[in-house]
Chains A and B, each alone.
Chain A
Amino acid sequence: MPDGNVLPPVLQVEHLTVRFKRRNTDVAAVNGVDFSLRAGETLTILGESGSGKSVSLKALMGLLPSYAGVSGKVWLNGQEILGLPAAALAKLRGGAVSMIFQEPMAALDPVYMIGQQIAETIVQHEGCDNRTAMKRALGLLEQVKIPSAERRLKNFPHEMSGGMRQRAMIALALACKPSVLLADEPTTALDVTVQIQILLLLRQLQAELGMAIVFVTHDVGAAAEISDRIAVMYAGRFVETGTARQVMRHAMHPYTQGLLSSTVHGGMRGRALETIPGSPPNLAELPPGCAFGPRCRYAVDACRHGDIPVITTATGAMARCVRVRDMVEV
């Protein structure tokens, strides 16, 4: 860990594991995720569908169904929160930790006005009267740059455009000044011109409010725009972590390299794209050894069984790969 004069982490996660056990299946969705996050820091969990990135977030918020087996340790501001009783968790959610989603319509109540919904959260968590809460709600809508905020307080969600709803949901999530904001693909459903506005807004709000953000996405572009650190997730594990620059410029893990080279960007016309063969593994029947092994062009015997070593570089980047030492200077 780096020098001791920095702030203690606001969120610390140790060996988070999620299994979905049903009669015939045992799906290992998250297989031991560790990270810690300081105030004002953004960690992006980058992964494709089924990699376990959203499930990890939901596990942190205690939002998974009862048959999900969640284990590991999660500390929020020094308090252990995994396995807290439902009432205590409900107090945390929307308070010290809150979440924004891909689909704002699913997070907002369609039959209440935006102002009421935000005020209700504030009253619930802070016990102030409705009038003060409404005033705070107005301030929040202004903070997320909703034009004519006064009028928008009385809007129902369906009366707003997609980008506006996303802003309203962010205002709702920030209502009680959370120390951690969990963002589950909040820009995925938006048009490019709106997406960049939301990313810039999140960056600006973070600078003003100092919350830590866990940003989950499959979009390499969004990750490059918002992250301090990036964790690349595959089959329920972090296969590589590092600063945004380390991961984007000097990816060590073959999966990260494949993901970056198969992402189309400017100036690639006329060349065939480098792809990753095959498709992600079935989480109910993970292969032994490295889960990426069967698709990896560098795979050797050591990849096919046992635990895969975690290689950490002097600069703090990590890759979970047998071959890293053969491929890059560590």
Chain B
Amino acid sequence: MTPDTRDRGGPAQPLLIVENLTKHFPVRGGLLNRQVATVQAVDDISFSVKKGETLGIVGESGCGKSTTARLLMRLMEPDAGSVVFDGDQVGDRRGISVSDMRRQMQMVFQDSYSSLNPRMTMAESIAYAPRMHGLRRRDAYDRAENLLSRVGLNPRQYARRYPHELSGGQRQRVNIARALALEPRLVILDEAVAALDKSVEAQVLNLLSDLKESLSLTYLFISHDLNVVEYMSDRVMVMYLGRVVEAGPVDEIYRHPRHPYTRALFASKPTLDPDRRTTEMPLTGDPPNPINPPSGCRFRTRCAFAQPRCAETLPPLLAPFDRHADPTHLVACMIPEAQLLPMELTYA
């Protein structure tokens, strides 16, 4: 394969480095519409995505995973933090501009219908961005047809159709084709398969794996579905109420989860085995409201291991206490007992 001329930093340079990314939304109300509270949607998160890998982000609703995606795409301005794309700071005078970054970073959303213009045919939708970026009409449409067949839709049959004439799975394929139209290097998939039926979901997941391979893409795969994230990702980041609680290689996270929240999350997963049903609730209650979240560790209100000091300081994301643990595994928990694996716990 010919080397990508856009690859500026070389293979060792992470494609994306995010540092201290923060977004707080003010909640206004009362007399004079003053700010009465803040939603800490994304609070001081840092991570990186290596070239060619898939980073999975899991978490429940309100954990900030979609806000993170929107901040990366600059669909909203972050309050603080920096994003470095292949060595270039995004939005910096000496770095890369937001529009240049967007040419290399594209996004696929959950709702396949509302993310397509109902008055544009499939070919028009896909060709739109390349034309805006200066490609000739003829070439843009050629590219659109080419992409349609790449995502498994016969262009002669589908190029002139409108969104309402397609099924959900077909529409999501078109959305993927559109995201690929500018030949991006990073694709953010924000719950891209969540609305699809299982048999269609599997088709789209296979398609995504094939495309990643053939186009050497890097994915940021956001989902609430633990099984799908395990299947797709090389590394996984677990979020809870706007913060990263645990991150590491997929096998480490799924086989040796260290944060009490991650463990509860995995224990909540249906077993798919009628003979080994879940008998105890891993967690009680709902995630707390992200408006004015608990002080210190945000999970402490639902955590069985919580101690007074958990309320005082925010736990930093560090290597586990266990000396034998994989050093690339990071966990935001200050209580050594809480990090013990369930098996070690029974021996303790």
Contacts and interface: CB of A to CB of B under 8 A. Distances in A.
Contact of A196 (B169, B205, B268, B274): B268
Interface in B25-60: 60
Given A224-B271, A245-B274, A264 B282 contact: no
B96 interface: no
B269 A192 contact: yes
Given A192-B226, A193-B265, A221 B270 contact: yes
B209 interface: yes
B270 A225 contact: yes
Among B203, B226, B250, find the residue whose CB has the most chain A CB atoms closer than 10 A. Answer: B203
B199 A276 contact: yes
A201 to B, nearest CB: 9
B198 A263 contact: yes
* Interface bracket on A: 35 or more
B202 to A, nearest CB: 3
Contacts of A132: none
A279 interface: yes
B272 A193 contact: no
B307 interface: no
Contacts of A225: 270-271, 277-278
Contacts of B230: 264, 266, 268-269
A205 interface: no
Contact of B286 (A163, A258, A273): A163
A274 B61 contact: no
A68 to B, nearest CB: 23
Interface residues of B, number: 47
B253 to A, nearest CB: 12
Given A163-B286, A192-B269, A196-B278, A264 B60 contact: no
Among A192, A222, A258, A273, find the residue whose CB has the most chain B CB atoms closer than 10 A. Answer: A192
A138 B166 CA distance: 49
B198 A227 contact: no
Contacts of A262: 198-199, 201-203
B228 interface: yes
A326 interface: no
A275 interface: yes
A259 B199 contact: yes
A147 interface: yes
A224 B231 contact: no
Given A269-B230, A272-B209, A264 B202 contact: yes
Interface string B244-282: 000000100010000000001100111111110111111
Contacts of B275: 245
A219 B273 CA distance: 13
B205 A264 contact: yes
A200 interface: yes
A268 B202 CA distance: 12
Contacts of B284: 197
B260 to A, nearest CB: 12
A268 B274 CA distance: 20
Nearest to A165: B286
B270 A191 contact: no
A279 B286 contact: no
B169 A265 contact: no
B286 A248 contact: no
Contact of A264 (B61, B228, B271): B228
Contacts of A272: 206, 209
25 contacts: A48-B197, A49-B197, A161-B286, A161-B289, A163-B285, A191-B60, A191-B61, A193-B282, A196-B278, A218-B198, A220-B198, A221-B269, A224-B271, A243-B274, A259-B199, A263-B202, A263-B227, A264-B201, A264-B205, A265-B272, A269-B230, A269-B250, A275-B203, A275-B206, A279-B170
User: Top 8 A-B pairs ranked by shortest CB distance?
Assistant: A221-B270, A262-B202, A244-B274, A191-B60, A48-B197, A273-B202, A161-B286, A276-B199
Interface of B: 60-61, 167-170, 197-203, 205-206, 209, 224-228, 230-231, 250, 254, 264-265, 268-275, 277-287, 289
Given A192-B268, A196-B281, A264-B225, 19 more contacts: A162-B61, A192-B265, A196-B282, A218-B198, A219-B270, A224-B273, A227-B274, A248-B272, A262-B199, A263-B227, A265-B272, A266-B230, A268-B227, A269-B230, A269-B231, A269-B250, A273-B206, A274-B202, A276-B202
